Amino acid sequence: MPPTSQTDARVELDFGAIRKVLVVDDSRLQRRILVASLKKWGFTVLEADCGEDAIALCAADLPDLVLSDWVMPGMSGLDFCRAFRELEKDQYTYFILLTSKSEKQEVARGLDAGADDFLIKPLEADELRARISAGARILDMQRELSDKNRLIETALEELRLAHDAIDKDLMQARKIQESLVPELTRDFGKSRVSLLLKPCGHIGGDLVGMFSPGVNRLGFYSIDVSGHGITSAMMTARLGGYLSSTHFDQNVAMQQRFNRFYALLPPEEVAETLNSRLMADTGIEEYFTMVYAIVDLRNGHLKMVQAGHPHPLLLRENGDAEFIGEGGLPIGLLADVQFQQTEVYLKPGDRLLLYSDGFTECRLADGNLLDEDGLHRMAMGCSTGRGGTEFLDDLFWRLTQEMAPGAGAEDDISAVFFEYNGP
């Protein structure tokens, strides 16, 4: 090998990730020539005269670059390369085989064994330096990629921990939201109100509820807040306070009379109160749809306000069915909105279903939405002999059977089922 020049001694900065080189050759003379050049270029050099010693050396002190002769007694350079690649190590080492073999088949064997490059003997200093520089560029990129992967893994672990914390908070939030609906069914004399609440995620923007300030007086509602997730859930928590079933003094749907009892306010007045409160809060962009109804159980007189919510389905005792309501604007969109009241008289055996658009806008397996006709068909299919939560569970089950397999609900699903059975 030609002697190195002063220029050669200054190229060590170009070798990047390669700092430590292992030379493996059974020829002492060849090793001395290689080691001399490598040390002049600034490398730390390790030596071994056979593959077995080289493997032991690598297991204890991993080099950045291996220069190994192909033909050696005992373990050949090819076998050494295979054994070296099987070592457990945290970083990649560039491997160059030194050989007099130039046939394509022999080169392919070396590549299959794990070699990265070849040098044909006799070696030229400039070519060796150039091959080492090429290997250094590859190692630099590989180690930069490894460093970035470690950063990504660290970031992913931090994200996982953050996700777990958020998931834990959401599970607790769901428990809090479920506390807004403490009872899923309750009898009021002979009549009964049953509730269904199925968020599409941990928490949702639907809310259902009922309350009674006294005998034969009953109010119930179905609410759907715009959007999904935490913001909508916070709004439902707020509305749950406005329509509390336990703290009548905080319930905007009631008014105390003569310091003795609470009376139910007209539904349209309740909607206007909620609308004015929502519009008075600056920075709140959410709105909600609602059906709120009150009923006098003595005579079945039902008064209802519909604020952008789907039309309730009235199932008559004689088998007839109709959608009722006057429509109207959602609450929280415009100030000073007047809401219209709908009145209907129920007969014993009549039933009323309030529901969110999670039912009617549910996408089915055929790609179509369920819509009102589909809901009417489902309700009629599960109405015979079923009441209370059994009716709602059956209705929800039928909906899931018509969804695309594995699709799941895209929106929160909720409902209120009122069964009137006379005073």
Secondary element (H or E) of residue 323? strand 321-323
Q: How far apart are CA 63 and CA 65, in angstroms?
A: 6
CA angle 399, 403, 409 (to 5 degrees): 80
Note the pLDDT of residue 388. 87
Domain ranges of the chain: 6-148, 179-419
Q: pLDDT tens, position by position, for the chain (423 residues)?
A: 444 444 444 444 468 889 999 999 999 999 999 999 999 999 999 999 999 999 999 988 899 999 999 999 999 999 999 999 999 888 899 999 998 866 777 788 888 999 999 888 888 888 999 999 999 999 989 888 888 998 999 999 999 988 888 778 777 777 777 777 778 999 999 999 999 999 887 777 899 999 999 999 999 999 999 877 788 888 888 899 899 988 999 999 999 988 888 999 999 999 999 999 998 887 777 899 999 999 999 999 999 999 999 999 999 999 899 999 988 999 998 988 899 999 999 999 999 999 999 999 998 888 899 999 999 999 998 866 678 899 999 999 999 998 877 776 788 899 999 999 988
Question: What integer pLDDT is reported at residue 132 of this predicted model?
Answer: 92
Q: How many CB atoms lie within 10 A of CB 330?
A: 19
Sheet containing 301-307: give its strands across: 206-214, 217-225, 288-296, 301-307, 341-345
Domain 6-148, CATH class in plain words: alpha beta
Q: Which are the contacts of 241, defined by CB distance < 8 A and separation ≥ 6?
A: 247, 250
User: Would you give the end-to-end CA distance of the chain in angstroms?
Assistant: 111
> What pLDDT score was predicted for residue 170?
72
| pLDDT in the model for residue 143 | 86
pTM confidence score: 0.66
**Angle at which helices 371-382 and 388-402 cross, to 10°:** 130
Phi, psi of 367 (to 5 degrees): 90, -10
- Answer yes or no: CATH 3.40.50.450 is held by domain 179-419: no
